[in-house]
Amino acid sequence: MASIDTVPTLGRKAVRDEARRARRSESEAHKRLTSRRATLIAVIIAVVWTIPTFGLFVTSFRPGADSNSTGWWTVFVDPSFTLQNYVDALTAGGTALTLGQSFINSLAISIPATVIPIALASLAAYAFAWIPFRGRSFLFVAVFALQILPIQMALVPLLSLFSKGLTIGDVNIFPGFGLRDVDHSFATVWIAHSIFALPLAIFLLHNFIREIPGELIEAARVDGAGHGQIFFRMIVPLAMPAIASFAIFQFLWVWNDLLVATIFAPSSSLPLTQTLNSLSGSWGNKWYLQSAGAFISIVVPLIVFFALQRFFVRGLLSGATKG
């Protein structure tokens, strides 16, 4: 029988042995999942994928005469750079706006079109997760099923709703809002993007909020907290990774959107993508201006993604795999 003095020693030895076995298992798993050949192939694919983008980036800084006469790779032999391409691109006019004005419009569209669906979806997700009401399961399945509906099917009805209303034959069954007739208005684009984003947002946030321990919710209710206090003081802080991840996802989607903006945005409120699309024809063979315009359009998504990518990976994956 071991003495009292030897028991801690035996316990420490068991802990060390267990830690050693865990490290050995981790090392073996790392070896099985790691392959030099796969790593080499991934590096080659990344380099091949990056070369055209790098060529466009170099072209955006080269003088127009050099871009039209020589390839971008000659910059390594005869380097010549200018910022005039970006100045010309920002001041170039599209259908009714310059690229700089459209850049401001894209910000004015993307930020509210990200905040509005997240605010509505987080409230709906909390209701589906923690508020019992009749038909909750059926409604949640219906919301989830809306994800498979192509947005192209909703474009014409929404456009009619925003302008003259919905009619069947000669009968106007729902009056229109007249939002399309308002200049400098982003309301139609905000509403359209919010409608298309809500099903996925509710699904992801519900799966994350549902995994919050029920003991916390019950303890808050015992202490007299209502649904508003529980939502704002507990649910929102705990679900912030999922909210932030979907915010990045939605912002990138809205910023790069062309279809919804083309259909719903007034001519005075066109975003950057639409103005770039209209300028691509008038610029012709001015590749240096097109390259500069392309990099103006991706600078904000790059900043947003790289600044918050840890939330994107952690929150989005956890919300997609739970529930």
* Residue 40 banded pLDDT, cuts 50, 70, 90: confident
Host H or E run for residue 215: helix 214-222
Q: Provide the CATH number for the domain around residue 272.
A: 1.10.3720.10
Q: Is the model's pLDDT at 165 over the cut of 50?
A: yes
* Residue 220 banded pLDDT, cuts 50, 70, 90: confident
92 and 98 Cβ atoms separated by less than 8 Å: yes
Per DSSP, 62 falls in state S
305 domain-assigned: yes
One DSSP character per residue, 189-203 reads HHHHHHHHHHHHHHH
- As for how many domains the chain has, the answer is 1
Q: What is the pLDDT of residue 123?
A: 93
209 and 239 Cβ atoms separated by less than 8 Å: yes
Q: Is the model's pLDDT at 294 over the cut of 80?
A: yes
Alpha carbon distance 291, 61 (integer Å): 9
Query: What pLDDT, in 10s, does the model give residues 243-271?
Result: 888 888 899 899 998 888 888 887 777 88
Residues spanned by the domain of 312: 93-321
Alpha carbon distance 262, 200 (integer Å): 23
55 domain-assigned: no
140 domain-assigned: yes
Query: What pLDDT, in 10s, does the model give residues 116-137?
Result: 999 999 999 999 988 888 888 8
Supply the mean pLDDT for the chain. Answer: 78
Strand bridging mode 165-168 / 171-175: antiparallel
87 domain-assigned: no
44 domain-assigned: no
Q: What is the pLDDT of residue 177?
A: 58
71 domain-assigned: no
249 domain-assigned: yes
